[in-house]
Structure 1
């Protein structure tokens, strides 16, 4: 079974399971209908193309699992399938391009559009992290020194604030008057470490003080997750320099991550918005659950006491499907015909928990703080979810296509950690000999080399790229209900940047 385009729009044209990432934003514009028709036609083409490619690959693969099998030969049928796939990929990119700004529109620089709201982000965060212990302050601020990091998440919070402001009546955009919230954080003011300090409002700005603070909270939560992830993964580099755990040790890295979360939690509580507190608290919970899912990888046993690698014919895969703000549960029996489906949905759910949840819920929280209605809040949530999934899927693809110097962190790390991502899962559909290596988490000698070889011999990378393009198209579709603005155009541009990024 091929799992390629988990899109709400495509569900009408394909039997591909899509519950994990389905969007529910109502769109009625002519542009959206045109996009839906194009995506529907594209889905049919993708399905038929991949069926043809799979048939060609299957015809050339013998029952022997040897990686030196003649399935690596370039037959005429494989070349034809590859040519068809290349054409299909071009159409997928065209769908995203047609949904975005026209070729006559100039590229908008988000840094210039957001101005000081984004430029002062790291400075404000550093001032929020004041601590009596100098080492703790130094470790917690390690990734906030200089201009490191892409700041994608806070940028999205601020862009959503601007783009959604046009949908809200000024009377509903209330600035909290509580003195703990309204304290200014401009460079001319002295800021204590108290996370209650917030940028003052300006009649010339469409971004509220609480939304600026939300952007800072989002980046603090993200950075805390990096600190903890690097300890778990024993990663020695991050952003082209030694990781915190490499520089200060695991204990200090864990404490620094906890400190960031505690500071973020205080700042979050002082926004005085129950829904926003719930949204960001859910994010922190999702980050932890997603990390556990990654540690378990294939989730062999429902009972943790049974051990991480124990399996039997009666086990079932309990897979959270993030169809809404709070993921539901779906159960898939293992050792059955739908094990590939269960494995891929497990991967997508883990991706939502670890990456997309923060982006999606932060986008929604930004709209909530701006006084937007439920339709707009849901629209930007689904934009963030789809963009977040695309971002991580591309990241998983880059693990096989760029160097460590380009990435600023080790490559091929997932396979070394026993983690099967989209390129490997797609490759396993063409080369079933990968299944056993995946099930044993690439622990046997030669498993990692086999996986790398088969990923590049298969269409795993190109199919992963198409999956990311599909998510980006879904993201663009989600915000089609927003009025035109520079901020909306940048949100669309970011979907294109995700597809073309190399780091």
Structure 2
């Protein structure tokens, strides 16, 4: 991971000062670096010692960071990881354009790898992520959204890059199709569980630990799994209140709605869905060679359920 950070810093170079300043600002905010770590862990499990593995790990982090820059503009977010978002500090235009720079730099680095299959996987992932963003935009303020539609969004918007990250290692080593499929399944299931837990934390987390405001999803008109589960379990009067809040972007009753989500057992129901996805990831990882890297992948999936920030 230190080598990945080194590659990231080397490839953030630009003759335009603002490009480097904005990119460095969001990347230096930290984050979990889960996607590059996933690529390296799967690579370790498959004994991948390819010279391009660190560059590809940096590529997936660049793609992820670009999506964050664009997301925060679309969502009009002001806080990420406990500090001002890039759009709040530098403005929307700079955030969008630097996001574009990170996407294009990622594709330059992909070309250097000179592997058409790698490019195919990452190009498809980037396209699916963009579709997921548009789907989420279409679903804003739609109180009729069901679990299937919600899962379609997060499997596109979040899980797809996890899946691509896990798929790249077997491609680099020339693994068989079955091994690549197990790695892809692990990544998709892990990414899905990660996003469900993220959505749970929006209603039960500690804002100081989360680095964002509690109830942000509802404030933005996003219907996530905790709300979907709460709507199945609440009274008619509570349901009307939640529907109105989603459709009108009304935050007047935000505290009451957060209480309803907590009291109806919706968070436990959503966590159960995350547990099922984590188990799917564990089952897929069990198909990989037994070594310390596979053990780390198993621990990562199991530990995701304990996430609090």
CA contact (8 A) 1:416 1:442 kept: no
Q: Secondary structure at the match of 1:441?
A: helix
C-alpha separation between the residues in 2 aligned to 1:238 and 1:138? Answer: 17
Question: What is the aligned partner in structure 2 of residue 156 from structure 1?
Answer: 38
Question: What is the aligned partner in structure 2 of residue 239 from structure 1?
Answer: 81
C-alpha separation between the residues in 1 aligned to 2:25 and 2:54? Answer: 21
Distance 1:162 1:455, change over 3 A: same
**Residue of structure 1 aligned with 2:22, choices 124, 134, 139:** 139
The structure whose Rg is larger is 1
C-alpha separation between the residues in 1 aligned to 2:129 and 2:289? Answer: 32
Moved more, 278-287 or 255-264: 278-287
C-alpha separation between the residues in 2 aligned to 1:384 and 1:439? Answer: 36
Distance 1:207 1:142, change over 3 A: farther
Q: Secondary structure at the match of 2:286?
A: helix
Distance 1:444 1:477, change over 3 A: closer
C-alpha separation between the residues in 2 aligned to 1:432 and 1:225? Answer: 37
Distance 1:299 1:209, change over 3 A: farther
RMSD: 2.0
Q: Secondary structure at the match of 1:481?
A: coil
Verify: 1:398 aligned to 2:201, yes or no: yes
Number of equivalences: 306
TM score, norm. by length of structure 1:
0.58
C-alpha separation between the residues in 2 aligned to 1:286 and 1:409? Answer: 26
Q: Secondary structure at the match of 1:120?
A: helix
**Residue of structure 1 aligned with 2:68, choices 204, 215, 226:** 226
CA contact (8 A) 2:217 2:223 kept: yes
CA contact (8 A) 1:420 1:438 kept: no
Verify: 1:412 aligned to 2:219, yes or no: no
**4+ residue segments displaced more than 6 Å:** none
Question: What is the aligned partner in structure 1 of residue 186 from structure 2?
Answer: 383
C-alpha separation between the residues in 2 aligned to 1:282 and 1:294? Answer: 18
C-alpha separation between the residues in 1 aligned to 2:257 and 2:274? Answer: 21
Question: What is the aligned partner in structure 1 of residue 272 from structure 2?
Answer: 466
5+ residue gaps in structure 2? none
**Residue of structure 1 aligned with 2:101, choices 256, 259, 263:** 259
Distance 1:440 1:236, change over 3 A: closer
1:3-50 superposed Cα distances (whole Å, 9 cap, x missing partner): xxxxxxxxxxxxxxxxxxxxxxxxxxxxxxxxxxxxxxxxxxxxxxxx
C-alpha separation between the residues in 2 aligned to 1:377 and 1:480? Answer: 13
CA contact (8 A) 2:141 2:222 kept: no
Question: What is the aligned partner in structure 2 of residue 496 from structure 1?
Answer: 302
